[in-house]
Amino acid sequence: MFTMMLKICRGNPKAMKAVIFRATRHVLTTSITTVAGFIPLLLLRSDFWSPLAICVVGGVGGATLLALYFVPCIYLLGEQLKDNY
């Protein structure tokens, strides 16, 4: 997604919105399938696998939020700062 932002957007918020909508499906499907793959390990109630699955599911969820919300915001902020200075 970041590469598409660099190629297409150039600080344009409307183009940024289009890139985010285009990339959202891909990011969400990979995240959902990864989380779904770890659900059996979450339900296993094992001393080793359950904590590992919790960490992986939490990490994937956090990375998804970062990729969809924070990276575009930080990119736009950086572009605005670059234009001001």
Comparison of pLDDT for 26 and 80, the residue scoring more: 26
pTM over 0.75: no
Tell me whether residue 49 is exposed, middle or buried, using C-beta atoms within 10 angstroms of its C-beta: 0 to 12, 13 to 18, 19 or more.
middle
How many domains does the chain fold into? 1
Token pair in block for residue 83: 């234009």
pLDDT single digits (tens) 7-36: 666 667 787 788 888 889 999 999 999 999
Domain range spanning residue 67? 2-84
**Quick one: average pLDDT of 75-83?**
81
Comparison of pLDDT for 79 and 33, the residue scoring more: 33
